[in-house]
Structure 1
């Protein structure tokens, strides 16, 4: 399994396992099953014969209805990754996630770019077909089938043969897809999974370094696991001393957990 090594501002190296083509393909299949299930549900629920009869020859209205029906699946991967912090339902099931190559959360622009460039990764055939058709190559159906397969597989071929398992959209958007369930687990790094609505409590956490955050997290995990309250008190005292924070939490565990989340929030959004 290929790995991505990220060097932080404090020269601390963090390693991530890159999702392979098999994991991404399975996530892709799961997402497409959900899309087909949505279409099946819509077709079964709505009586399109009555809709067509109601609007008659009003093709513009019928086209508008078609667009509205297909909007959820057209933009599925885009809004899913934005709302689910780099994951679709398929990616979540396969324990993979989109991040920036520098280890940060991708921006909305990054998500839009990698979504838009799916037209190159998985629909290049459409672009090539227009060119080939313009040449008037009649009787060359086998060539068109080869172009179709190449166009559909381009994204997967790039994932296989690029150093960071990136499709074209990833390369342009400067993103990678990582495997979260790894020997060096995501939870064992200084990074935390934060929701888009997360509101930080302690701005002074920026006085900590990446190495400080790593030590705090490792110590906190071990102390919390064995209910080592003496260590938790010492850890809380040290954090207060270094940062000058005035704690708003009565619980040592809640305070330290909030400090780690706040540190991630500020370092990922600076």
Structure 2
């Protein structure tokens, strides 16, 4: 397990903890078990339907082979970098900038997964060696795609998303300058806030607040944490109206 520091546009490093070989392997085992159970249930169902041979082959192909083949690709795309196994193991696929991988990155990882799948012993040993030798516990597919698998465990009690329902309160925004920032900028601020809370690092919160004030040319006597919460609320207020 290693830590990777990713620079953000606010000149503050965002730190991630990479998933180790054990976490990745157990996650893969869980996903393999799920796929295995699905195939057993499908086979039992098809046999009970007493279909002719050709129809059975068609059903097995479209409802068996294709779902199992595209399991990782589809689920990691629609589940924001996770599969059921990854969810249970608290790990997630991210790009090297800490964001959500692109479709092409997911596709590259999936193609290399087919090559690295343990059909034979030497196939299965390739990703193991790659993860062990990689500085950031990456398999070959991750290295080529520019992705990394990180731990999602946090103790943060702040909202897990930048979005807040401001329609339920009589809210008065304070910093219209926040509209100069993009969704990506706001997400980075939120990630840094969560990182500061997780590591109990008020200095990081203060640095983030100072940098935001400097970029947006804001002057306020608010405490750093209160200020950052306010700009998140302001952003939601302005962008949902």
TM-score by shorter chain over 0.5: yes
Q: CA deviation at 1:42?
A: 0.7
Report whether the alignment pairs 1:164 with 2:131: no
* Matched residue, 1:17: 17
* Matched residue, 2:235: 259
Report whether the alignment pairs 1:47 with 2:42: no
Task: Give the conservation status (yes or no) of the 8 Å contact 1:12–1:211.
Answer: no
Report whether the alignment pairs 1:204 with 2:159: no
- 1:90-132 deviation per Cα after TM superposition (whole angstroms, max 9, x unaligned): 0000000000011121011111110111122225x6xxxxxxx
Report whether the alignment pairs 1:91 with 2:86: yes
**Residues in 2 aligned to 1:6 and 1:32: alpha-carbon distance in whole angstroms:** 32
Structure 1 regions of 5+ residues with no counterpart?
Answer: 126-147, 196-201, 222-239, 243-252, 264-270
**Residues in 1 aligned to 2:141 and 2:74: alpha-carbon distance in whole angstroms:** 16
**Residues in 2 aligned to 1:118 and 1:258: alpha-carbon distance in whole angstroms:** 43
Counterpart secondary structure, 1:10: coil
The equivalences for 1:100-119 within 5 A come to: 100-119=95-114
TM-score (norm 2): 0.67
Q: CA deviation at 1:24?
A: 0.2
Match of 1:213 among 184, 189, 199: 189
**Residues in 2 aligned to 1:74 and 1:215: alpha-carbon distance in whole angstroms:** 34
* Matched residue, 1:120: 115
**Residues in 2 aligned to 1:51 and 1:214: alpha-carbon distance in whole angstroms:** 54
- 1:167-220 deviation per Cα after TM superposition (whole angstroms, max 9, x unaligned): 1111111000001116xx6x599x96589xxxxxx98151796799369947xx
* Matched residue, 1:79: 74
TM-score (norm 1): 0.60
Structure 2 regions of 5+ residues with no counterpart?
Answer: 164-175, 198-215, 219-228
Q: CA deviation at 1:34?
A: 0.2
* Matched residue, 1:154: 126
* Matched residue, 2:60: 66
Q: 1:216 to 1:167 in 2, by over 3 A?
A: closer
**Residues in 1 aligned to 2:191 and 2:109: alpha-carbon distance in whole angstroms:** 35
Task: Give the conservation status (yes or no) of the 8 Å contact 2:179–2:235.
Answer: no
**Residues in 2 aligned to 1:215 and 1:71: alpha-carbon distance in whole angstroms:** 36
Task: Give the conservation status (yes or no) of the 8 Å contact 1:122–1:153.
Answer: no
Task: Give the conservation status (yes or no) of the 8 Å contact 2:27–2:86.
Answer: yes
Aligned length: 194
Q: CA deviation at 1:43?
A: 1.4
Q: CA deviation at 1:44?
A: 1.5
Q: 1:193 to 1:93 in 2, by over 3 A?
A: farther
**Residues in 2 aligned to 1:212 and 1:118: alpha-carbon distance in whole angstroms:** 30
Q: 1:88 to 1:194 in 2, by over 3 A?
A: farther
**Residues in 2 aligned to 1:12 and 1:159: alpha-carbon distance in whole angstroms:** 28
After superposition, the CA RMSD in angstroms is 3.9
Task: Give the conservation status (yes or no) of the 8 Å contact 1:10–1:210.
Answer: no
